[in-house]
Amino acid sequence: MISLKEEYFERILDGTKSFEFRRVFASSLQEPFLCAIYISSPVQAIRGVIYFDKPIKDSIDGLLELARKSNYPFIESVKDYFNEKNTGYALPVINTRLFKKPIRLKDVQEIYPKFRPPQSFYCLENKQFLKIRDYIDKYESRNEINQRSF
């Protein structure tokens, strides 16, 4: 699960943001992965999921070059974000899924009382993921999902 500001999630959904850049990430992840997206205050809800390709760990110059080559429109904000860091991560977006009904923080905590929103990211235990997936399945049908493929 990754915590994002709403504006960044919207940019991913509309296709203007094709990477999520992170200063720190799970270095053990070496393959594509599915990630629940928690939108921070004032929304405070899980709004969807993103299927990311294999994380790319590189120098900041390498990540900036990757962004330039892919016509990433927010190069200066990436440079500012990595201020004084030597390395970072680029998470390439493969696909997105926006939930028709966001899962509010209050609802997540009813499903999983120990849930605390991530400051940056954390890996959900299988049990946590299954409880959230079951909740989603109550309100979403496969034919009604808003999806965007890249």
pLDDT tens for 1-50 read: 899 999 999 999 999 999 999 999 987 788 998 888 999 999 999 999 99
pLDDT tens for 55-82 read: 999 999 999 999 999 888 889 999 999 9
Structural domain span for residue 98: 2-149
Looking at the 3D structure of the chain, how many domains does it have? 1
The CA-based diameter of the chain, rounded to the nearest angstrom, is 46
CATH no. for residue 66?
A: 2.30.130.30
Evaluate if residue 144 carries a pLDDT over 60: no
Nearest to 136 by CA among 104, 92, 99, 82: 99
Nearest to 118 by CA among 17, 33, 21, 46: 46
- Going by pLDDT thresholds of 50, 70 and 90, the confidence category of residue 118 is confident
